[in-house]
């Protein structure tokens, strides 16, 4: 009797086919709002990945530091608590000094130049520069050029920031940049910036129009100078061990989804930054300070000593290749 029952249940199992495996959950965590280039790129990745791999993957996107903020996201990636993150290129110095390149002030003329460098051989090679640390670069996503803001009326020349406190990302290059201006830089997680500006813990910050708008920094700053003095761009990264162990078809589908998401985010970046600059101007809270060529040259000159300081860490060859991408 027992044998018959066992046989029957074996037959039943065989008839119902292999048990459907649970989808692979891919957590994608980032620190910005959804209405930004990175926010939109992450949502596109989810849409395309789930379309290409129906039932096989589930992508969960966590914006606005909801899952992990700046302080924890790298460790979380290495521990396997999150599978994809896209930190700004300023936040990698614990893992490689090479990416400090992107923080050198006035290195790139615009995002098109950044794009040319990233698509070239040196830029592509940097995606693999953290393999030995277990980090794999999947691509670069653009945000935009940085603008400088403060809670003072006057922000035209480098002298205007002397003695002021500025929030910076986790970057020694950016620290040196503000020191070169005679200002006081303070490293701080992105999620804490609004409050620090509002309460006067810091006087100013540097960021793209889309971040300044979506984080409402313009509501707690008096002046935003259109300096375009640096870039905020991202490397989308994953845990190399996790990635390499994925079934080949899943890895392939995720790679395709990443390529589409990259194209989408990079196409939107300029448009969203222009839109948000207009929105800030229309809100009429912070003044947008246009700068003359002469003013920009003064900022460039004041910040330039930073290049020499980091040339050894970054490599003169990389700096030269980046300069060549300016047209
Ligand atoms: C910042 O920390 O200011 C930005 O890098 C945040 C981001 O991811 O754009």
198-210 residue pLDDT tens:
999 999 999 999 9
Q: What are 164-212's pLDDT values in tens digits? A: 999 999 999 999 999 999 999 999 999 999 999 999 999 999 999 999 9
- Over 80: is that where the pLDDT of 23 sits? yes
pLDDT at 19: 56
Query: How far, in Å, is the centroid of ligand 1 from the Cα of 57?
Result: 28
Contact call for residues 179 and 272 (beta carbons, < 8 A): no
- Over 90: is that where the pLDDT of 9 sits? no
Contact call for residues 146 and 206 (beta carbons, < 8 A): yes
Query: How far, in Å, is the centroid of ligand 1 from the Cα of 251?
Result: 28
Tokens standing for residue 229: 């003095």
Mean pLDDT of 281-285: 98
Residue 288's pLDDT band (cuts 50, 70, 90) = very high
210-228 burial by CB neighbour count: b if 16+ within 10 A, else e?
bbbbbbbbbebbbbbbbbb
Residue 220's pLDDT band (cuts 50, 70, 90) = very high
Mean pLDDT of 236-253: 98
Determine the residue of 73, 169, 268 to mutate for testing ligand 1's pocket, defined as the one with the most ligand atoms within 8 A of the Cβ atom: 169
Residue 228: strand, helix, or coil = coil
CA distances from 42 to 34, 138, 218, 264 (A): 8, 13, 25, 10
Q: What are 99-134's pLDDT values in tens digits? A: 999 999 999 999 999 999 999 999 999 999 999 999
Contact call for residues 296 and 170 (beta carbons, < 8 A): no
Alpha carbon nearest to ligand 1 atom 5, residue: 88
Atom of ligand 1 nearest to the CA of 88: 5
CA distances from 166 to 2, 152, 161, 213 (A): 77, 12, 9, 18
Tokens standing for residue 227: 């300096």
Residue 289: strand, helix, or coil = strand
Q: 244-253 long-range contacts, Cβ below 8 Å, gap at least 24?
A: 246/24, 249/53, 249/56, 250/24, 250/53, 250/56, 250/57, 253/49, 253/52, 253/53, 253/56, 253/57
Residue percentage of the chain with pLDDT more than 70: 94
- Helix axis angle for 248-283 and 37-52, nearest 10°, is 150
pLDDT at 2: 56
The set of protein residues with a Cβ atom below 6 angstroms from ligand 1 is 31-32, 88, 143, 169, 190, 207, 211, 232
Task: Return mean pLDDT, the chain.
Answer: 95
Task: Write the DSSP assignment of 188-205 as a string of letters.
Answer: --GGGHHHHHHTTSSSEE
Q: Which among 25, 131, 125, 123 has a CA at the least distance from the CA of 78?
A: 131
pLDDT at 21: 86
Q: Which contiguous run of DSSP H or E holds residue 178?
A: helix 172-180
Alpha carbon nearest to ligand 1 atom 8, residue: 88
Alpha carbon nearest to ligand 1 atom 1, residue: 190
Atom of ligand 1 nearest to the CA of 208: 9
pTM summary value? 0.93
């Amino acid at each position: 009797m027992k044998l018959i029952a066992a046989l029957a249940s074996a037959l039943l199992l065989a008839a119902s086919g292999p048990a459907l495996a649970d989808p692979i959950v891919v957590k994608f965590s980032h620190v910005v709002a959804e209405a930004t280039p990175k926010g939109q790129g992450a949502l596109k990745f989810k849409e395309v990945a789930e379309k290409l791999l129906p039932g096989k993957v589930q992508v969960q996107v966590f914006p606005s530091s909801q899952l992990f903020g700046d302080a924890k996201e790298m460790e979380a990636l290495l521990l396997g608590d999150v599978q994809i993150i896209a930190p700004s290129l300023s936040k990698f110095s614990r893992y490689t000094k090479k990416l400090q390149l992107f923080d050198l002030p006035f290195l790139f003329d615009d995002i098109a130049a950044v794009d040319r460098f990233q698509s070239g051989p040196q830029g592509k090679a940097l995606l693999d520069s953290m393999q030995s640390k277990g980090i794999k670069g999947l691509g670069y996503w653009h945000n935009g050029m940085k603008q400088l803001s403060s809670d003072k009326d006057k922000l035209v020349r480098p002298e205007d920031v002397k003695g002021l406190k500025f929030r910076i990302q986790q970057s020694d290059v950016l620290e040196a940049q503000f020191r070169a201006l005679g200002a006081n830089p303070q490293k701080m997680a992105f999620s804490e910036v609004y409050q620090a500006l509002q309460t006067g813990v810091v006087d100013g910050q540097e960021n793209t129009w889309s971040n300044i708008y979506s984080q409402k920094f313009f509501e707690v700053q008096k002046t935003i100078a259109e300096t375009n003095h640096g870039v905020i761009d991202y490397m989308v990264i994953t845990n190399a061990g996790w990635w390499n162990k994925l079934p080949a078809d899943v890895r392939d589908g995720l790679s395709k989804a990443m390529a589409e998401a990259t194209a989408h985010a990079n196409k939107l970046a300029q448009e969203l930054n222009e839109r948000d600059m207009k929105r800030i101007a229309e809100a009429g809270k912070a003044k947008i300070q246009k700068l003359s060529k002469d003013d920009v040259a003064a900022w460039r000159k004041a910040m330039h000593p930073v290049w020499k300081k980091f040339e050894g860490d970054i490599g003169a060859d990389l700096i030269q290749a980046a300069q060549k991408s300016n047209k």
